[in-house]
Amino acid sequence: MHYKAMSYALGLCLMFITGCESMTGKTTGQTIDDASITASVQKKLTSDKLSNFVRINVDTDQSVVTLKGTVRSVEEKSRAEDLARQVNGVTKVNNNLSIQSITLGTP
Angle, helix 28-46 to helix 2-24, in steps of 10 degrees? 80
Query: Domain containing 77: what range?
Result: 26-99
In a domain, 106, yes or no: no
In a domain, 51, yes or no: yes
**How distant, in Å, are the alpha carbons of 22, 25, 64 from that of 57?**
26, 23, 14
In a domain, 104, yes or no: no
Q: For all residues of the chain together, what is the average pLDDT?
A: 81
Number of domains in the chain: 1
Range with the poorest average pLDDT among 8-12, 42-46, 59-63: 8-12
In a 10 Å sphere around its CB, with 0-12 CB exposed, 13-18 middle and 19+ buried, how is residue 37 labelled? buried
In a domain, 91, yes or no: yes
In a domain, 47, yes or no: yes
- If one compares 45 and 27, the residue with the highest pLDDT of the two is 45
Range with the poorest average pLDDT among 58-72, 76-90, 93-107: 93-107
